Amino acid sequence: MRTESDKAVSWRIAVLADTHDHYPPDLPGRLRAADEIWHLGDVCSPSVLAAFEQLGLPLRVVLGNCDWHSGWPRELRVRHGGMRFLLVHAPPARTPRETDVVLHGHTHRPRDETDPHGVRWLNPGCISRPRSGVPPSFAWLDIRSDRLDWRIVPL
């Protein structure tokens, strides 16, 4: 397994949000290339994660406003490649301190913006109920040293 001390390594993270108990049957297979899976809340029933857990990849999940499992944290702070990530369901009202990238769900719309403080805000869109005419989606987050690439994948 890769370690944070190995700065030359790259990380490929599959980022999901707002599954609301549903996802396309082929989605778990599409995520096999990931090093980790991050789910940004509104899983609803924890049993929905079974197919993702069977991949044997680290799975990080934060609590959404529709989740039935209170054991998940409301937020997670993760470091990869020298970057500081905040994983939450609903986007915070203010720019969080000591954070380079905020990953959130809740709005059901993809997002890639950098605020005036230099913090990047990312949303993979929604797996089950997208809004604003966009298709359902997830995202790939590729981290290499101090650089990241974000790609939305329509489903």
What is the CATH number for 82? 3.60.21.10
Question: With bands split at pLDDT 50, 70 and 90, how would you rate the model's confidence at 9?
Answer: low
Per-residue tokens: 105? 């769900």
pLDDT of 68 reads 81
Between CA 120 and CA 99 the distance in angstroms is 9
Say whether 83 sits in a helix, a strand or coil: strand
Average pLDDT over residues 110-137: 94
Per-residue pLDDT reduced to its tens digit, 18-74: 999 999 999 999 999 999 999 999 999 999 999 999 999 999 999 999 998 778 999
pTM, to two decimals: 0.92
Would you say how long the chain is, in residues? 155
Between CA 95 and CA 30 the distance in angstroms is 32
**Within-domain flag for 19:** yes
Q: Identify the bridge partners of residue 153 per DSSP, sorted by sequence position.
A: 138
pLDDT of 70 reads 76
- DSSP assignment, residue 91? P
Q: Is the pLDDT of residue 105 over 90?
A: yes
pLDDT of 104 reads 98
**Within-domain flag for 1:** no
**Within-domain flag for 146:** yes
**Within-domain flag for 69:** yes
**Within-domain flag for 54:** yes
Domain that includes residue 100, residue range: 10-154
* Domains of the chain: total: 1
Q: Is the pLDDT of residue 1 over 60?
A: no
**Within-domain flag for 136:** yes
